[in-house]
Amino acid sequence: MRRDELWKCDTDVRIEGKVAVVTGATAGTGLEVAKNLARRGARVVLASRSPRKLAAARESIVQATGNTNIVTRQMDFESLTSIRNFAQETIATEPRVDILINNIGAVGLEDKLTADNLQLTMQVNYFGSFLLTFLLFPLLKSSAPSRIINVSSLAALLGVVDLDHFNDVGRYSSFGYYCNAKLADILFTVEIDRRMRAAGVSGVSVYSMDPSLNKSNFFRNYGGHIEKFFNAALRRFGRRTDVVAKLPVYLAVDPRFEGQSGKHFRDCDEFYSSWYASDSELTAGLWEETKRLVNISSSEDWER
């Protein structure tokens, strides 16, 4: 039998006793990531906004893996309050978090500000993941060795980060905001790694990755001919979601990535991200501006 394209990501590492949090875990690649981690023996916390989809995803994972240690927890990335509630509940109920996979992603959203005064596509694809990671970081640190995986996109190569305008409504197309958000995910990865090193924090590794095209319904928010055309192309040319799920799991569990924190990956190998990633003034500025925009309080701010 011919090996799939990501055969280099295959690993037999077991993770019994570990706790993994996966966002966007009720369908597509996120669901396959959760199944993969469950097969390895992890306790998996599924995060999504739909109770119905969470219940269906849990049942699917249990049936596919035999692992019943699967927890569902509501979280809506369009609400910073919902993210904070999720983080608080996780910290209160989970003695440890060893793996955080920020898998959420959406394109074709309305160009508007959310109730948190953030541009919707930027909040769903970047600000929410930043806030969740920031809030869970103390628990990830106490659980070390632990890993954070930020799912970006090849679209990041088309992104820009203008700190004076990157939260503006009406400045970019829907896809433009998505590109900017996925670039911000990479820069956030670089900056949190730099800050951990500067503070002497060891044992927490963070990676960004491009999942490549996969057979999904990714363009569902566009509707009409755009949705039909691009989703048909994904189903025709994209990789199977269970194959694509290998890379984030590989980064999350395999010992070969120790010492490679802060890097960007594609197809099981380190991959070019963007020249922006080497601009330490920009990544630091993005970090501070993001903290301001998501309203990190003094009680939440572990950097103090």
**Identified catalytic residue from 126, 172, 178, 250:** 178
What integer pLDDT is reported at residue 105 of this predicted model? 81
Count of helices and strands (H, E) across the chain:
10, 8
Q: What's the order of all strands across the beta sheet hosting 204-210?
A: 70-74, 43-48, 19-23, 99-102, 146-151, 204-210, 264-266, 269-270
Of the listed ranges 74-78, 157-161, 227-231, the one predicted with least confidence:
227-231
Per-residue pLDDT reduced to its tens digit, 103-142: 988 877 899 999 999 999 999 999 999 999 999 999 999 9
What integer pLDDT is reported at residue 227 of this predicted model? 56
Give the highest mean pLDDT range of 169-173, 232-236, 239-243, 269-273.
Answer: 169-173
Question: In this model, does residue 236 exceed pLDDT 70?
Answer: no
Report the percentage of the chain scoring pLDDT > 70.
90
Q: Higher pLDDT residue, 217 or 120?
A: 120
Give the highest mean pLDDT range of 42-56, 199-213, 232-246.
Answer: 42-56
What integer pLDDT is reported at residue 252 of this predicted model? 97
Rounded CA gap, 286 and 304, in Å? 18
Confidence category of residue 96, pLDDT binned at 50, 70, 90: very high
What integer pLDDT is reported at residue 104 of this predicted model? 83
What integer pLDDT is reported at residue 242 of this predicted model? 83
What integer pLDDT is reported at residue 224 of this predicted model? 59
**What's the DSSP call for residue 245?**
T
Buried b (16+ CB within 10 A) or exposed e, 179-188: bbbbbbbbbb
Question: In this model, does residue 284 exceed pLDDT 90?
Answer: yes
DSSP class per residue in 164-190: TTTT-TTSS-HHHHHHHHHHHHHHHHH
What integer pLDDT is reported at residue 241 of this predicted model? 79
Q: Are 11 and 250 in contact (CB under 8 A)?
A: yes
What integer pLDDT is reported at residue 78 of this predicted model? 96
Per-residue pLDDT reduced to its tens digit, 139-168: 999 999 999 999 998 889 999 999 999 999
To the query of whether residue 177 is one of the catalytic residues in this protein, the response is: no
What integer pLDDT is reported at residue 1 of this predicted model? 39
Question: In this model, does residue 93 exceed pLDDT 90?
Answer: yes
pTM over 0.75, yes/no: yes
Rounded average pLDDT over 191-207:
95
What integer pLDDT is reported at residue 222 of this predicted model? 58
The token pair that represents 213 in the structure block: 């095209």
Of the listed ranges 2-16, 185-199, 200-214, 219-233, the one predicted with least confidence:
219-233
Rounded average pLDDT over 248-269:
93
